[in-house]
Structure formats: structure tokens, C-alpha cells
Chain A
Amino acid sequence: MHQPDTAPRRSTFYQYQVHPFRTPPELAGGRSDAPVVIVGAGPIGLVTAIDLARFGVRSIVLEQDAQVSHGSRAIVLTRRSMEILQQAGVDAPFTAKGLPWSSGRSFFRGHEVYRMMLPHDDDDRFHPCLNIQQQYIEQFLLEAAERTGRIDLRWGSKVLTIAQDPDGARLTVDTPAGEYVLAAPWVVAADGGRSAIRRLMGLRMEGRAYAGNFVIADIKAPLGLPTERLCYFDPEWNPGNNVLVHRQPDDLWRLDFRLPDGETAEEALAPARLSARIEQILAMVGRRVDWVLDWAAVYSASTLTLAEYRHGRVLFAGDAAHLLPIFGVRGANTGLQDAGNLGWKLAMVARGEAPPALLDSYSAERVEAAREICEEAGKSTRFMTPPTAGFRLLRDAVLSLALTEEFCRDLLHWRTSRPHAYRHSALNGAGDDFDGGFAPGEPIRNVRLGPDDFLFDHLKSGFHLIGFGAGALPLPRLTVPVITIAVGSATLPDPDGRIAAKFAAPPGSAYLVRPDLHVAARWLQPSADAVAQALRIATAQGPSPARGRLDGGIAARTPVGKGGAR
């Protein structure tokens, strides 16, 4: 009998709402027929459900808790994440509540040694970063999920077992009213870093964990500092380590600092010690104000990923699939890219519009992205939490030099989560030689059309055939629905040719863009046959290595274990 905690979590700023358990049909002798079961109602599970819903696919979401996330956790959403949320139709409350920013400053021995401006292109609607607590992220997504009418969210529901065969998957779910079996054709494992599904299926991740623990502590305090990332290296009270300060809505501040080697989580979170350090941080930023602790936790950095995100009928997304460092805000932001990639593909497969092999492209594309992140984030991690004496020595040398020498300051540059170009994707079709623009696999970028009007505001849910200049677009006999956009027409005027310039699109050319805004193909002179061909390839139905059967047959997959910690 699974009994979630039904006392509202305590917070200095957030009103937790406890969601009651509702007896599901299965416990009353009935059944549900949702094509997809999503395990986990965190940000990634919810965006996946919302994305499926916008393509007309129902889902059941199983969440073992009865309320949203404990603690602010993921607090920074990148521009790309906001674009994904906009495509899912849920961005408005985030923009209203969140704090946008673009700059960061690094300090060493009281001096500013590095200032970084993340580029905020005038053509982007969203700022490079937006700070907002995970409680709000989940709340806004829950409200949006409710509005779809297609998502059956089951609180207090914990998965005990999972099994699958060619016909589908079966989960044993434990609830306050007893256990039941839930069968579904597809399962999305979005159950977080300590994923039960990953553990139950005996899957191990590849990569490494880094030694070095960090405390994140949220305080409510009137600091009155602007919204930017502040990083302090080697403060006197915490020699050799670093401190980060981030502003959040509602006067909350995220303090993040590395612990001395050997110190345990228990020692670090002991109230007296934690308070003393918070006081020292406030002195360091020059704001000795009254404060209240909202939440604190200890974490460490890893660069870990499953080698495959598809295991038969189970798809892994978010922290269930990968554990990436907090440096460069790579946790939720990577997971949201997973959800954006998975949603439309799983929807097409669930509706019988594409073969299950399309889901193999989800795994291939997102695993490649995760590996790139492990590589890039590994560099930041080796700077923020040097794993060896050699790396620590070099880090200290750079910090010391950076006080007076410019040549090495860019080593303090902090890479941030970014979208990935799926250059090797099996879904990429023809890529004619454009003089710029976006190649197959790459995400398209936004264009400003007016003071509050951007290209992405005009995109809907599905594939888009974006045509430029004169003439009608060559529409094939449609096996896959395609939304046509004629740039330069009355519906999307381009008086200064700015859209055409951004896409490097001469008159007569066209782009086929996937529902997740990555380019499938582009032509200087498209024909109906070429477009039809590209659509087949982009939905894994064409002459490509990935093959599948529309009758729901699964490609048997044997996970290739490569060692790794978890």
C-alpha cells in the first residue's frame, strides 16, 4: 500500500497544494485505454504529456507524490527551453512569473575577473535565461495539462514492477487503495535521477561521477541585487572552492557552494554550520540582511547517460535517461529538449502514422546530444570542481593570472545548455547548398517581425513546409499532414526580407521543418516528389537504415552496457 506524504510541504514562498488520490478504473473492475503511460509528473513528464495531447494523443501520468517538487531545484530555463514550452502552448505564465537575464560575473579575491554576456539576439523572443522555481514550473504545467482534457494525472501512484512483450508493457502500480496492473502500448520513464524504471530494468549509465559535493540553499531575503549569475572563486571562508548566487522570483535567492573535500552532507546541512556559511556569503556579496532558509540540499556532479533511450516499449527522458552537471544549467533544460523531441514522434507512432522505428531516432538524436553535453560539461566541471591535483593547480593558475592577464580569461567562460544539431540523424533528408540558414538536423532560429511578433508565434503543431518568394508550394499527396507557410505572402509578409535572409532562402526555395523546429530538409527548387520523399524519411518511413512495421512490432533491443557508476 503506497501512502504519499499528504501534509503540505513547507515553504517560505510557495503554497503547496496536496492533490487527492482518485481511485482509477483498474481498481473498480474497469480499464483505461490510453496509448501512453508516463511515469513521473516532473517537468519532463508533464511536457511530454502536453506535447502528446497537442497531437491528439491521450496519456496517463503516474506520480508517486501528492504534491509538486520539494524545493526549487531546477531554477533556470534557457531560451531553447522557452521555445519548446511555447510550441507546447504553455509559455505565458513562465514569462509572467520568471526573471529573465543574460549576464554573469566571476570574482576572485574581491575582484571581478570575468564578465560574460550571453548573446540575446534581437530576433529571439526569449532571453538567454529565465529564473523560476521548479514548484512554479510544475504548477504551470499541471494547469496546462488539466486544460488539455487528454491527460489522466494519477497522484499517489508508485510503480512497483514493469514488464513488456511485443504487445505492450505492463506496470504494477501501488496506491493508497491497493495495487493494480496498468497495461499500455508505450511507457515513458520520466521518473528522475533515481528512476525506479531504470533500476527495475537493470540499466546502467555510461560516463563518470565527479567527486566533490555542493550545497544548494535557498534563502528568502531582500538582497536587492540584479538578476545575473554571480560566481565567486576561492573565498576566504571556503578556500579553493566556489560560490554561485542566483536570483529567483518572490525574493528567493539560490546560494550554491562547493564543500571542502571529505565533508559529509549531514555535516554540511547541520543548521549552525549552514547558517554560518550563509552569513559569510552575504558578507561577501555585501548584503548583511535578515534571511530565512527555505530549502537546502547536497548534490554532486556527474556526466552520465544511458547508451540507448529506447528499450522496446519504454522510452527514457530527462534525469531518468541522463545525469548531467548543474554547471551550465543542463538538467531540466536537456530533459525539455528530450520531451520536445519525443512528443511528436511518440504521438505519430501511437496514432499509427509512423512506424516504431521513428522512436529509434529519438534515442539516437538525444543520446548523441547527451554525449556532447558530457564532453562540454566535463570541461566546466573540471574547472568548478577540479577532480585531481593537476586540474586544481591549473585552475588556480588561471584564476591568479586572470586578475591581470586577459589571454586566459575565456577559460572562465561558462558554457550553457544549448540546442543540438542532429547532424547524423537518419531523419535528415535532402540538404541543398544554401549560403547560410539552417542545415538538416539543425534547429531553426526565430525572427522578429514586430515589437511583440515573432516567427515562432505563427507556427502550429506539426511539420511545416516554409516556402519563400513567388509561386505556390509543391504539395505532395499528403500521407503526413504538413502546414504550409508562404513567407512573403499576406499571411506572413516579409517586407524587408529578414526571414528570407535568416534562412538564406532565395526565391522559390523551401524548408521542411519538423514539429520540434529542427530542419528535416531544404531545397533550392523543391518538387512535390522531393517533399514527399523528405516527409517519409523524416518519419522513418523512407529508404533509410531505420526500419519498422506499422503494426506496432518492436525492434528487439539489447542494451549495450558500457560500465559506469549507475
Chain B
Amino acid sequence: MIPKRLGNADLEAVYDRLAEAVDDVPAEQRELFLAKLALVLANLVGDPAAIAEAIEAARRDL
């Protein structure tokens, strides 16, 4: 289970910003943008085990 680090107010703000960022990027570049974002955030997380867990969580139930 991914631990909750963002409070709901912050999480909502992040949700909106991500949605707007996706909309700002041309459709054919969305994947590239999200892949870059994943790398940047993984680097910020800094812990390989946590990153592996994140990948697993994101892969489920697609």
C-alpha cells in the first residue's frame, strides 16, 4: 500500500495541475511528457524500493 504523504487539499491541487499540464501538451507528446514526469518524480522520491512499489501500483487494474 502506497503511504499517503499528500494531504487532500494538496492532492487536489496536484490533480488539477497534472490535468492542466496534460492538456497543455499536444496529444502525441503526452506519453513522453508523462514518462519524463515519472523519471523526475522517481528521482525526487530517491528510494528504489519505493519506486518499484509505485510502478507495481500503477500497473494494476489498467
Residues of A within 8 A of B (CB): 109, 379, 382, 386, 388-391, 393-394, 398, 400-401, 403-408, 410-411, 413
Contacts and interface: CB of A to CB of B under 8 A. Distances in A.
Given A411-B11, A411-B15, A405 B1 contact: yes
Interface string B13-35: 00110111111100100100000
B6 A407 contact: yes
A393 B22 contact: yes
Q: What are the 9 tightest A-B residue pairs by CB atom distance, in nearest-first order?
A: A390-B22, A390-B23, A407-B4, A390-B19, A391-B19, A394-B19, A403-B61, A400-B61, A410-B8
Contacts of A406: 1-2, 4
Given A379-B12, A408-B11, A390 B61 contact: no
28 contacts: A109-B61, A379-B12, A379-B16, A386-B19, A389-B23, A389-B27, A390-B18, A390-B21, A391-B19, A393-B19, A393-B22, A393-B30, A394-B19, A394-B22, A398-B15, A400-B60, A400-B62, A401-B58, A404-B60, A405-B2, A406-B2, A406-B4, A407-B2, A407-B5, A407-B11, A411-B12, A411-B15, A413-B8
A405 B57 contact: yes
B3 interface: yes
Contacts of B1: 404-406
Contacts of B62: 400
Nearest to A413: B8
Contacts of B30: 393
Interface residues of B, number: 25
Contacts of B61: 109, 400-401, 403-404
Nearest to B25: A390
A405 B53 CA distance: 11
A210 to B, nearest CB: 14
Contacts of B4: 406-407
B22 to A, nearest CB: 3
Interface of B: 1-6, 8, 11-12, 15-16, 18-24, 27, 30, 57-58, 60-62
Contacts of A410: 8, 11
A109 B15 CA distance: 22
Contacts of A379: 12, 16
A411 B9 CA distance: 10
Given A382-B19, A391-B19, A394-B22, 5 more contacts: A382-B16, A388-B23, A390-B22, A406-B4, A407-B3
Contacts of B19: 382, 386, 388, 390-391, 393-394
A73 B55 CA distance: 45
Contacts of A403: 60-61
A411 to B, nearest CB: 6
B27 to A, nearest CB: 7
Contacts of A413: 8
Between B5, B23, B30, the greatest number of chain A beta carbons within 10 A of the residue's beta carbon is seen for B23
Contacts of B57: 401, 404-405
Nearest to B60: A404
Contacts of A109: 61
A219 to B, nearest CB: 32
A109 to B, nearest CB: 7
Nearest to A393: B22
B11 A394 contact: no
B22 A389 contact: yes
Nearest to B59: A400
A390 B19 CA distance: 4
Given A404-B60, A410-B8, A394 B27 contact: no
A388 B15 CA distance: 13
A408 B1 CA distance: 11
A388 B23 CA distance: 7
B50 to A, nearest CB: 13
A98 to B, nearest CB: 31
Contacts of A388: 19, 23
Nearest to B24: A390
A107 B35 CA distance: 29
